[in-house]
Amino acid sequence: MARKIRSGKLLTYCMILFSMLVVTFAFTHSLWSSKRLLFMGDLTTSDITELNYPAHHLLAESLKEGDIPYWNQYIGCGFPQHAEGQAGLLYPLNLALFRFLDTTLAFNLSVIISLFLSLAFAYLLARQYHLSAPSAFYCAISFAFSGFVISKLKFTYMVNSIPWVPLAVYGLERSFRQRNPKFLILTTLALAMQILAGGPQVFFINMLALLIIFCWRFIGLLKSDYRPGNRAWKRAAVGMLAGFLVSILLGLALFAPQLLPQTAGFPYFNRAEKMDFQSVQAIPMRPIALSLFFSPYQHGNPARGSYPLKNQLFWEDIAYPGLLTVVLALVAIVFLLKKDRDVGMWLALALFFLLVALGGSTPLAEFMYKYVPGFSLFRFFQRYLLITVLALSLLSAKGMERVLAAFRPHRTQVLALAGFMLAILLLDLAFFAFNFISTIDAGRMEGENRSVAFLRENMDPANYRYCTLGEYKVWEAAYRQAGGWMGDKEPYYEYFSFLSPNFNTLYALPGAHQYGAYGLYYFKTFQNQTYFSAVPENGWKADLPDGILGYLAAQSVRYIVTPYFLDEEGLELKASWKTGIDDIFLNIYEYGEALPRARVFTDYEIVEDADNLTLSQSYDLFTPPSRVQNRVILEKDPAPLFSRDAGEPVEATVVYSSNHRVEVDAYAPRGGILVLNDTYYPEWHVFVDGVEREMMKANLAYRAVVLEPGRHRVEFVYKPSSTYYGVAVCAAGMLLALLVFIRYQRIPLPCISEP
């Protein structure tokens, strides 16, 4: 009999697993390919093609060479890819997929696997509340394939972090129900995975939810079986509190290889200074967006170019879990709220996080902005809808269970009704997904276009860079012409020729700009002045102020790729052709005044407290452009190893360049200051003839070292010590987690009655 029961359970588990695989395949069948890449757009670009895919392409190339690209030499004059975090360089799933598979297939599979894990972990959480398999499966589908999750597929770090949210909650809930903190190991693991995947905002949201759930359950525990001198009660309460705190600390240890680099680098990023409330809101969710819970496309669909994106961001506001999900959640609230404490808790969570998501429309978000540490670090409050969607999914499963209970004596009717509800949900969410998820031909996207061919033929990548100006205007035109990203892809293939920031990583072409709002603050000073610098006048004719040309010269920008027609002195049009997007031309200009990447100066200007310069003050330092040719800007006097004079700078030669090491051959007969126009970052070290020296910040954002007269071999080496310390902390944390698990495996806390 026991063997038959075990066989029956095994068969049930296999059927559930198979059903999950079938549902996942149904929603993602277009992504099971190495030829087609997931494609979704944004306001002015695509986070997939301009941020996430290039970063993972670099990871794939590096892993195949036995390396990890902690630094990306191709974007932003050099960028701390790992410290920024979104690339998820140490996320185990990424390490496995991008090491062994084709990059396009690996990228798509990372999304597919994340959706499957969301499905599986949400199902596991629902079963924790003693829901039947059909109801738990309903919950899992409504969460994993909700409008919230589907619309976030373009944010790879988010979709890789989201699956771990229900698992983290499951570990906490299971530990309370079993009165055994060993299940908090799952919470620890889930929190670590969220950070390693590159999702600190998801981690923060999840932590906030876990704290609320813990307080809810802990207060219930304190009220249960309380009697003076009740040691079992006291031991259970203290054990759960200690277990929760230890699980959080262990989580911090496990994701230390990502946490420590981000923490060490944070003071150098532009979010270190607290943003004002309006900036944190970005484009806030308005109360009218609540209607998207019931009808997602009633105001249009951005994927088809019919949604007004100037006032609202659809992919941030949308949380659609299915219309039936909302109805069933209401059933649970009406019929079970007074009977089921779980319904009360998840209703409270749903409402709390919904109010936060509404931003300035309610006082809650501003209160948290002022008084909750860490809340001000993350933009787009709409992302707190993650917990609202999870709560609605669980409440709907409770409601479904209540409806099915009315037919419980009739098994056939119960199964038929459950199947009918699941079918309605699947059709509803599939309609949303199939009108939102698109793919693009990876070969055509990555193929060598005319711009790439020109730069490879004419630009010396060891000593010069290119930049793109105004390409976001081209995206807007391509989006309109294509009719959204579900429409004609030809305009987008033309757009890729403009080599937007980060996209150039695919071709190993060094660029001066970096995609995204988050970056090193002193570099963003340059980018804010240059990337949005062109002022359109007549049609696509534009004017570049002199200070902008000075910035570009200091960044070693030899070529400018732009839709604009420029006639500034020093710029020479080298190539031009009409694209297939409206009447837009692609123009490539050569800038003859660009500084080489390495040069030795003997004249300098001291600018104290350079980090606090206003934009106009920094602009003046590079106007006219000729000022950057003969002197370097420093923040303090250099070591007295040479005689200062206004003589001509001496050229230096970059003889080797990789993500983590740059070698320069510098012949300086009078000595001087070797300037390498790569972004300054404290984890870079410089060695002159094998001896380490102080690395200075030059021209507000770049690297420099003082040289005495003579020929020198100068080596710049990236040593991410914060990552190494993080690995050591992680190893210790894993050992401690194992010991804690073994201890609580043997000594469970006393089981007292449920609160």
Q: Is 498 helix (H, G, I), strand (E, B) or coil?
A: coil
pLDDT 10s digits, 606-641 = 998 877 777 777 778 888 888 888 899 999 999 888
C-alpha–C-alpha distance, residues 16 and 11, integer Å: 9
In degrees and rounded to multiples of 5, residue 441 shows phi and psi of: -65, 110
pLDDT exceeds cutoff 70 at 225: no
Residue 317: predicted pLDDT:
93
Residue 223: predicted pLDDT:
75
pLDDT 10s digits, 547-564 = 788 889 999 999 999 999
pLDDT exceeds cutoff 70 at 41: yes
pLDDT exceeds cutoff 60 at 145: yes
Percent of the chain with pLDDT over 70: 93
Stretch (H or E) spanning 590: strand 585-591
Give residue 754's pLDDT band: very low, low, confident or very high (50, 70, 90): very low
pLDDT exceeds cutoff 60 at 308: yes
Radius of gyration of the chain (CA): 28
pTM beyond 0.85, yes or no: yes
Residue 464: predicted pLDDT:
96
Give residue 752's pLDDT band: very low, low, confident or very high (50, 70, 90): very low
Averaged pLDDT score across all residues of the chain:
90
The residue ranges of every structural domain in the chain are 2-31+80-439+733-746, 447-591, 598-719
The encoded tokens of residue 684 equal 């870079």
Q: How far is CA 81 from CA 56, 71, 89, 252, in A?
A: 11, 5, 8, 20
Kindly write down the DSSP assignment for every residue of 647-667, as one continuous string.
PPPEEEEEEEE-SSEEEEEEE
Of 123, 103, 125, 118, the residue nearest 153 (C-alpha): 118
Which residue's structure tokens are 């990059």?
103
C-alpha–C-alpha distance, residues 391 and 343, integer Å: 9
Find the mean pLDDT for residues 520-530. 69
Pair type for strands 604-606 and 632-634: parallel
C-alpha–C-alpha distance, residues 728 and 730, integer Å: 5
Give residue 231's pLDDT band: very low, low, confident or very high (50, 70, 90): low
Q: Is 98 helix (H, G, I), strand (E, B) or coil?
A: helix
Of 650, 661, 667, the residue nearest 599 (C-alpha): 650
Percent of the chain with pLDDT over 90: 65
pLDDT exceeds cutoff 90 at 63: yes
Give residue 755's pLDDT band: very low, low, confident or very high (50, 70, 90): very low
229-238, 322-331, 715-724, range with the lowest pLDDT: 229-238
DSSP annotation of 539 reads T
Find out whether 80 and 71 touch, Cβ atoms under 8 Å: yes
Find the mean pLDDT for residues 515-542. 69
Task: Give the angle subtended at the CA of 242 by the CAs of 237 and 243, to the nearest 5°.
Answer: 95
pLDDT exceeds cutoff 50 at 329: yes
pLDDT exceeds cutoff 60 at 213: yes
C-alpha–C-alpha distance, residues 748 and 752, integer Å: 12
10-14, 175-179, 386-390, range with the lowest pLDDT: 10-14
C-alpha–C-alpha distance, residues 397 and 142, integer Å: 9
pLDDT 10s digits, 410-443 = 788 889 999 999 999 999 999 999 999 999 999 9
AA identity, residue 197: A
Residue 431: predicted pLDDT:
97
